[in-house]
A and B are shown apart, each in its own frame.
Chain A
Amino acid sequence: MKKSSVVFALCVLATVPMVLLTVSIRENKAEQQAMNAVPPIKPGETRSSEWGKYYPRQYDTYMQTKKSDEITDVLKQDPALVVMWAGYPFSKDYNKPRGHYYALEDNINTLRTGAPVDNKTGPLPTACWTCKSPDVPRLIKRDGEMEFFTGKWAKYGDEVVNTIGCGDCHDSTTMKLTLTRDYLKRGLDAEGSLKTADVTHQDMRSLVCAQCHAEYYFKKTEWDDKGEKKTAMVVTYPWNKGMSAENMEEYYDSYGFSDWTHPLSKTPMLKAQHPDYETFVTGVHSRNGLSCADCHMPYVQEGGVKFTSHKVGSPLDNIANTCLNCHQGTEKEFRATVERKLARKDELAKMATDILAKAHLEAAKAWSLGATEEEMKPVLQDIRHGQWRWDYAVAGHGAFFHAPEETLRVLAGAINKGQDARVKLRVVLAKHNAADYVAPDFSTKEKAQALIGMDFAKLVEEKKTFLNTLKQEWFKKSEAKGLYDPASRKDMMLKTSYN
């Protein structure tokens, strides 16, 4: 009799407090869930001000990227670039980057994107929007990736209207960091050292940046649109053989890819596009587990609240919250250290551009004197590889700091290749009785542009017409469609290198 009853009583005695404890835990969990709840932002929301209603601090700091508004004309700083990029849009207009607030504006205003008069004209493909806006993942979802990468840049002028914003990096249904560009996932998986499936939160704090801050090219891809043959220019990362300058060069060489053919030297050229991520991962900060966000988006305190600053910019603006989290020293010392690194890079980069521009001009002279393809082939290969290396080292403006050793190493390679080309060119020129040929003067942007036969005034005039007509129409149309967020361009002033 007693045994069963005792067991029963003990069980009741044990169960009651356990049930109460479970109830208490569930209450705490509900509280936790309420605290972690995601606000009702609609999936794929492209207007950052809508997100800003729930994340005012993040939004306010993000909007402060408008303070980075200075236009620095790089072609003016180093006119050799005009010669090196002859025949390629970068010879028309190239400024140092401004804040994310201006990303879309500057893409529309630059002479590189030309002056389309309708949605089928203009020199560049749709791919040129890829990094500028959260409207891009929206369009890829709506039209499909292949359709998005097909056609002219102007095709999406009234669709891509909100500058880089919340939706480029965050999933509105969970607020977690997310990759909205599939070509990065494909690049990571092809490269192999960090597979998409294995990325951690800390990796994501760099990879969301690597969606744009990486080297890419437009891969010509034939596709079939319900029976109609179309050609897409798909943004692709050349990471299959690795991320170093030499690995990518090998990748491009392996199937004879070139971004354009240089009109003076007739070299099949490669253009490097800011390989920030690829160089960063070779640097000491990456190897110590830091992410882009650790320094470019420091953790800041405002009153009683801590949050990640979304004013993406130079860590030198906030040394106390970035460098000094780990390092000893004063702000002054840090500034001096960084300036010294920059000066070293500039010194070698300047040498490289001078050599490479002269190589192009000397090659043009050799061609004009009747040099043969056979004579010129090794020369052109050296120019191609030399300029690629120089571009790889400097196109990502932070590489001199992220990876100083790698940057200087690659620049040294560029100088070596460039000089190799010029030594070979001297022989060709001598053969054609021009051993003492001196390349013409390209010491100013104007002289250099005249040298490559560019009608700069005409480009500017056409562009201004575009800015006053089609550009205005795009924003009006998109506002009518409810796509454009006027808050994203509050206080926007037209600022370019040419007006």
Chain B
Amino acid sequence: MGKGSARSPSRPEGVNALKVADREKEERYETGEKNWKEACRAIRQKIVQCNREKGATGLPMKYAAIFAVIVTLGVFANLVHESKMLSYLSSDPRACINCHTMTTHYATWEHSSHRNRATCVDCHLPRDTFVNKMLAKAQDGYHHSVAMTFKTYGPNLRISSDAAKRIQNNCIACHQKTVSQMMANSALYEKAADSTVQMGRRCWDCHRGLPHGTMRNLSATQNNFSVKVD
């Protein structure tokens, strides 16, 4: 408090001084604002000028983008060609030996009595609706591509449980008459081996060699004269 009173005598002077300072400040501010506005205008002009000049430097970027799109499309088209992508939309068994991994399965099927009645897709894909068929095809195709690309498969391929279900259904679909009584009886079974399968066990638990034979190692059919892909 004492301190404040000690200053007070100089206060009127100080007020004036403050007013001066404020005015100066205001003036400064005003010019500052003016300058700022000017600066901004200058920057804007610069930007506009820059943008105008950029006309020359922006054009290559656009071309680069167009070029990149063309290259990408080209690479994709080549990939479609190399991978024979479109063949997978067909039902031709030869599509399954685009890769060598399935040659044993193809060769054994081709020497089996099923060859005249059922192609790969007849057994391995669902036959209820087109959508399910395509979904299964996409799913299998994805798994096969991953396995093929990252080489995660071994010399003995095993069916996935999902695919096993489809095959079981397809066995029954064709051999309906033969198994109808078994199906009826199976209602009374205790489905010990697998409760999710209609008859407790799958057809090939007994019919083990159908149609690929019991031995279908990838190196089992070495001279595939008939399954060479041109």
**Do residues B82 and A25 form an inter-chain contact, with CB atoms below 8 A?**
yes
**Do residues A301 and B213 form an inter-chain contact, with CB atoms below 8 A?**
yes
Interface of B (DSSP majority class) = helix
Q: Which of A12, A19, A170 is the one whose CB lies under 8 Å from B68? A: A12
B176 interface hit (Cβ, 8 Å): no
Q: Which residue of A lies closest to B60 (CB)?
A: A4
Q: Give Cα A172 to B55, complex, Å.
A: 66
Q: Give Cα A31 to B218, complex, Å.
A: 13
If A31-B100, A299-B111, A306-B213 touch, whether A7 touches B69 (CB-CB below 8 Å) is yes
A74 interface hit (Cβ, 8 Å): no
Q: Give Cα A177 to B112, complex, Å.
A: 20
Q: Which residue of A lies closest to B117 (CB)?
A: A289
In chain B, residues 192-230, which have Cβ atoms closer than 8 Å to a Cβ of chain A? 213, 215, 217, 219-226, 228-229
On chain A, the residues within 8 Å of B229 by CB distance are 32, 36
Q: Give Cα A281 to B216, complex, Å.
A: 32
**Do residues A301 and B61 form an inter-chain contact, with CB atoms below 8 A?**
no
B113 interface hit (Cβ, 8 Å): yes
Q: Give Cα A24 to B58, complex, Å.
A: 37
In chain A, residues 305-324, which have Cβ atoms closer than 8 Å to a Cβ of chain B? 305-307
Q: Which residue of B lies closest to A1 (CB)?
A: B58
* Nearest CB of chain A from residue B158's CB, rounded to whole Å: 17
**Do residues B148 and A28 form an inter-chain contact, with CB atoms below 8 A?**
yes
**Do residues B112 and A325 form an inter-chain contact, with CB atoms below 8 A?**
yes
Q: Which residue of B lies closest to A288 (CB)?
A: B116
If A1-B61, A301-B213 touch, whether A7 touches B68 (CB-CB below 8 Å) is yes
B75 interface hit (Cβ, 8 Å): yes
Q: Give Cα A177 to B226, complex, Å.
A: 9
On chain B, the residues within 8 Å of A1 by CB distance are 58, 61
A176 interface hit (Cβ, 8 Å): yes
On chain B, the residues within 8 Å of A22 by CB distance are 75, 78-79, 82-83
Q: Give Cα A292 to B115, complex, Å.
A: 16
**Do residues A305 and B222 form an inter-chain contact, with CB atoms below 8 A?**
yes
A435 interface hit (Cβ, 8 Å): no
Q: Give Cα A28 to B115, complex, Å.
A: 27
On chain B, the residues within 8 Å of A480 by CB distance are none
**Do residues A175 and B75 form an inter-chain contact, with CB atoms below 8 A?**
no
A477 interface hit (Cβ, 8 Å): no
**Do residues B61 and A307 form an inter-chain contact, with CB atoms below 8 A?**
no
On chain B, the residues within 8 Å of A32 by CB distance are 99-100, 229
Interface size, A (range)? 35 or more
Q: Which of B64, B75, B222 is the one whose CB lies under 8 Å from A18? A: B75
If A7-B65, A31-B100, A32-B100 touch, whether A304 touches B225 (CB-CB below 8 Å) is no
On chain B, the residues within 8 Å of A19 by CB distance are 75
Interface of A (DSSP majority class) = helix
Residue-by-residue, is A1-25 near B (CB-CB < 8 Å gives 1, otherwise 0)?
Answer: 1011101100110110011011011
B72 interface hit (Cβ, 8 Å): yes
**Do residues A15 and B213 form an inter-chain contact, with CB atoms below 8 A?**
no
Residue-by-residue, is B53-69 near A (CB-CB < 8 Å gives 1, otherwise 0)?
Answer: 00000100110110011
**Do residues B220 and A289 form an inter-chain contact, with CB atoms below 8 A?**
no
If A22-B82, A26-B82, A32-B100 touch, whether A15 touches B75 (CB-CB below 8 Å) is yes
A336 interface hit (Cβ, 8 Å): no
On chain A, the residues within 8 Å of B64 by CB distance are 4, 8
Q: Which of A11, A21, A31, A58 is the one whose CB lies under 8 Å from B223? A: A58
**Do residues B79 and A18 form an inter-chain contact, with CB atoms below 8 A?**
yes
Q: Which of B111, B115, B215, B223 is the one whose CB lies under 8 Å from A175? A: B223
In chain B, residues 84-115, which have Cβ atoms closer than 8 Å to a Cβ of chain A? 99-100, 103-104, 107-108, 111-113, 115
Q: Give Cα A384 to B79, complex, Å.
A: 67
B149 interface hit (Cβ, 8 Å): yes
* Nearest CB of chain B from residue A404's CB, rounded to whole Å: 21
Residue numbers of A with Cβ under 8 A of B are 1, 3-5, 7-8, 11-12, 14-15, 18-19, 21-22, 24-26, 28-29, 31-32, 35-36, 55, 58, 170, 174-177, 201, 288-289, 294, 299, 301, 304-307, 325-326
Ordered by A's residue number, 20 sampled pairs between the chains whose C-beta atoms are within 8 Å are: A1-B58, A3-B65, A4-B61, A8-B61, A8-B65, A11-B69, A15-B68, A15-B75, A18-B76, A18-B79, A19-B75, A25-B83, A26-B82, A28-B148, A174-B228, A294-B111, A306-B104, A306-B108, A307-B221, A325-B112
Residue numbers of B with Cβ under 8 A of A are 58, 61-62, 64-65, 68-69, 71-72, 75-76, 78-79, 82-83, 99-100, 103-104, 107-108, 111-113, 115-116, 148-149, 213, 215, 217, 219-226, 228-229
19 more A-B contacts (CB under 8 A) besides A36-B229, A289-B116? A3-B65, A4-B58, A4-B62, A7-B69, A11-B69, A11-B71, A14-B72, A15-B68, A18-B72, A21-B79, A24-B149, A32-B100, A32-B229, A36-B224, A36-B228, A58-B223, A170-B225, A175-B228, A299-B108
